[in-house]
Amino acid sequence: MERVPLERKVLNENGRIAAGLRARFADHNILCLNLISSPGSGKTTLLERTLASFPPGERVAVLTGDIQTENDAMRLARFGFPVKQITTGGTCHLDARMIKRALADWRLEEIDLLLIENVGNLVCPSSYDLGEAAKVVLLSVTEGEDKPLKYPSIFFKSELLVLTKTDLLPHLQYDIRAAEENARRIQGGMRIIRTSCVSREGLQDWFSWLDERRRIVGAPPVAAC
Amino acid sequence: MERVPLERKVLNENGRIAAGLRARFADHNILCLNLISSPGSGKTTLLERTLASFPPGERVAVLTGDIQTENDAMRLARFGFPVKQITTGGTCHLDARMIKRALADWRLEEIDLLLIENVGNLVCPSSYDLGEAAKVVLLSVTEGEDKPLKYPSIFFKSELLVLTKTDLLPHLQYDIRAAEENARRIQGGMRIIRTSCVSREGLQDWFSWLDERRRIVGAPPVAAC
């Protein structure tokens, strides 16, 4: 198989561009977060609630990735902050080159927080560094408790796990503690926040985590890699 | 970018092995179906209900793919039919070589129906032919209506869309007709079955589809490609 060395070459090239992005984010004191989950776990809805919580003039911007459609950018643009859709046209993940290109006509000195919503995919995006300070993985409670064990890479590499759609728990056979234990079998001591964008459970905890994390933007990333 | 030609080479090699598998399935009158969806859409649960519906001695077998864990094979093995887990160890999809290897010690003359549960991923598995007669895509109603537009390839290539978890509809803001219309914008006239493995809505329709499809096993695949 000649695939592995080629993949490594692609990842090395991606890593080189990501390192450049990380340096630029540091220069401008930007906290960049890379949100990753399965399709339909609620990344866009969490971002809607997050943008809605900010006062006008907050120095936040969003890049949102999808294979096709501008749907997410349209949903997110109505909060008045800079939002750009990256349409990958078939590629199953965002890569650092796409981020660099998307940022080309934005003034980084006007941004403090850059939220990147990756393509819905629990596998491939975990391999592509985007220059972020931290990855955040979302997992909806409709997806089954064993997902951290089945897709360990992203649970190992993320600084935070956001469990979503907890309002549906009364209607599901779902053991949320087992899901959390499984995540901590992959990453002991993993920080976890239970949320629902319907009942608003845990949203304040997410906003607080975001606030705290913004305060240590200059520090080296805490996440394992 | 030298990536595209290499990907093409990998896909061509995969296609060659898949063609060999398809010929063997035809020789043995085996209907092979490739089930694809996001993580947690309910592939394994639908297969549990399906295997439970068969009488002992039914000539059915299952291959189930995951990046890590043997969980799904353990869940499916208790129905008494041959089941094998394929653990990809990081790869985001099953490929034809994995299927060929997994079948090496099975007697194909004892199988009429081979169900393949792919790795949970709505993107990458759609590119890898496994020698199946048809792809079946599952989409849970918790995932949002616009997924067919965002991930068009798999909705274009699948012969059937199984909507899952309809028992949750009363608790969701979800327009199931919009989801179906979106699927048919990608593939006009797409066959769709609404199901719930909890309320058992639509399971009989799924079993009937399976029965019908098994009767035309010898015919060329209907699915677009």
Query: What local confidence, expressed as pLDDT, does residue B225 receive?
Result: 38
To test the contact with chain B by mutation, choose from A95, A151, A155, A163 the residue with the greatest count of B C-beta atoms within 10 A, namely A151
Instruction: State the average pLDDT over residues B178-202.
Output: 98
Query: What local confidence, expressed as pLDDT, does residue A223 receive?
Result: 44
Instruction: State the average pLDDT over residues A145-172.
Output: 97
Query: What local confidence, expressed as pLDDT, does residue B3 receive?
Result: 54
Query: What local confidence, expressed as pLDDT, does residue B151 receive?
Result: 97
Query: What local confidence, expressed as pLDDT, does residue A221 receive?
Result: 47
CB-CB under 8 Å, B119 with A122: no
| Chain A residues interacting with chain B (CB cutoff of 8 angstroms) | 2-3, 6, 10, 38-40, 66-69, 71, 90, 92, 119-124, 140, 142-144, 146-147, 149-153, 165, 167-168, 171-172
- Residue B6, classed as helix, strand or coil, is helix
Q: How confident is the model at residue B217 (pLDDT cuts 50, 70, 90)?
A: low
Cα–Cα distance list, A23 to A9, A32, A41, A106, A220 (Å):
21, 11, 31, 16, 11
Q: Percentage of residues in chain B with pLDDT exceeding 90?
A: 90
Beta bridge partners of residue A63, listed in sequence order = A84, A116
Higher pLDDT: A72 or A3? It is A72
Give me the residue from A67, A144, A165 closest to B123, CB to CB: A67
Query: What local confidence, expressed as pLDDT, does residue B10 receive?
Result: 84
Q: Is the pLDDT of residue B222 over 60?
A: no
Distance CA B140, CA B42 (A): 7
Residue-wise pLDDT tens digits, B125-163: 999 999 999 999 999 999 999 999 999 999 999 999 999
| Mean pLDDT, chain B, integer | 94
Instruction: Write down the ipTM of this complex.
Output: 0.88
Query: What local confidence, expressed as pLDDT, does residue B223 receive?
Result: 44
Q: Is the pLDDT of residue A180 over 90?
A: yes
Query: What local confidence, expressed as pLDDT, does residue B7 receive?
Result: 76
Query: What local confidence, expressed as pLDDT, does residue A1 receive?
Result: 43
Query: What local confidence, expressed as pLDDT, does residue B224 receive?
Result: 37
Contact A137, A162 (CB under 8 A): yes
| Mean pLDDT, chain A, integer | 94
State the nearest Cα–Cα gap between A72 and chain B, in angstroms: 10
Q: Is the pLDDT of residue A58 over 80?
A: yes
DSSP string, B119-154: -S-SSGGGG---S-SEEEEEEETTS-TTHHHHSHHH
**First-to-last CA distance in chain A?**
26
